Amino acid sequence: MPLREFILFILLGVAFTGLNGRAHAESLNHVLPLGEKLQGVEVSESEKTIVIEAARADAKLPDSNGSLSCLKVDAQSSIQNFHFEPKTSEGASGLTSVWVRVGASGQKDTVCSKGECVGSFKITTSKSGKLNSAIPGTAELSHRALKLLSEPNFTMCVGVTAPAQGKISAKSLALEYCPKEPECTEEPADISGYWKSTYSCMDSCDGQGGEKSLTIYITQDPEDRTKAKYVDTEGGKFSGSVCGNKFSFIGGGSDWGESGTFVLENAGTASKSSQYSTHGNCCIGNCSDKLVRQENPTAG
């Protein structure tokens, strides 16, 4: 099998997976048949990183008039159409680990260390080679990764480790994608000020994290209150747009990128959901916050 097809298999089969980090107005389901090209890919216990310069047309990504706002795959559903064939009679019980990064065209020398993390996943494998479950079962591309993959050309780096030598085959993928939301017609709510957040996150590298807290400070442009930005006490900086009671944002900190939605529930409370990817270790995750407005905040 050509190396180019192998990389596209890994990227589509594992990287395009849905974390439910943001709410979208509409999502479309699509089954992507993989045909005969992605049968019998050789894998082994030793991790190998592979860099390739690719084209969007080769990946055959679903398109909605050229304007996608999200791209996901249901990994758990997809692996039902995958099969691993161990090379030895001892079988291959264990985990298959895959991580993927994406970068701009021409970034082949640095994409493995500095590319946008699309995801890292562990797929449980039975002795017979049956792929039973993907951890995490779903994941969604970050805004930056989606933007990079929307370019005519891009660069990828993939790392793969299998529980034993063998071959993996795939028939189809279950995709979910979202067209861009229609132009907002609602007046922006007043979300400005200090908010105390209690949150928890699920991470593809570390699993479910414990409850933590931070303070965020939101400002809205006095000339155009649909424009807003905020900073938090963990060093994050974000900006985005306000439509009615919803604030869609993107940003991050020194070692992570994050995007999501802040929803004003009433004058004093709000909720927030987001999805992120880290720049150091290639990890993806999602967070859920409950927020309370603060009149006289204290950082924490």
Taking only the tens place, the pLDDT of each residue in 210-260 is 899 999 999 999 999 999 999 999 999 999 999 999 999 999 998 899 999
pLDDT at residue 156 tops 60: yes
Instruction: Determine the average pLDDT of the residues in 25-36.
Output: 63
Confidence label for 300 from pLDDT (cuts 50, 70 and 90): very low
Dihedral angle over CA of 51, 55, 56, 57, nearest 10: -140
Starting at the edge strand that comes first in sequence, how are the strands of the sheet with 116-125 ordered?
48-55, 153-161, 94-104, 116-125, 131-135
Whether the CB-CB separation of 98 and 159 falls below 8 Å is answered with: yes
Which among 146-150, 170-174, 248-252 has the top mean pLDDT? 248-252
pLDDT of residue 84: 81
pLDDT at residue 23 tops 50: no
pLDDT of residue 299: 46
pLDDT of residue 139: 72
Residue 76 and residue 218: Cα distance in Å, rounded? 37
pLDDT at residue 61 tops 80: no
pLDDT at residue 17 tops 70: no
pLDDT of residue 236: 95
Comparing 173 with 86, which gets the higher pLDDT?
86
**Cα within 13 Å of Cα(216), Cβ side:** 27
pLDDT of residue 143: 79
pLDDT of residue 187: 96
* Phi, psi dihedrals of residue 124, rounded to the nearest 5°: -70, 140
Comparing 268 with 119, which gets the higher pLDDT?
268
pLDDT at residue 58 tops 70: no
Which among 44-58, 74-88, 150-164, 244-258 has the top mean pLDDT? 244-258
Give domain limits for the chain: 3-179, 193-294
Task: Choose among 273, 5, 12, 288: nearest CA to 141.
Answer: 12
pLDDT of residue 77: 83
Instruction: Determine the average pLDDT of the residues in 261-285.
Output: 92
Largest CA distance in the chain: 70
pLDDT of residue 219: 97
Start-to-end CA span in the chain (Å): 53
Q: Tens of pLDDT along 89-105?
A: 777 788 888 788 889 99
pLDDT of residue 44: 86
Which range has the worst mean pLDDT, 12-21, 130-139, 291-300? 12-21
Residue 69 and residue 225: Cα distance in Å, rounded? 23
pLDDT of residue 28: 73
Could you give the 3-state DSSP secondary structure of residue 56? helix
pLDDT of residue 266: 96
Tell me the CATH number of domain 193-294, given options 2.40.128.20, 1.10.10.10, 3.30.465.10, 2.70.180.20: 2.40.128.20
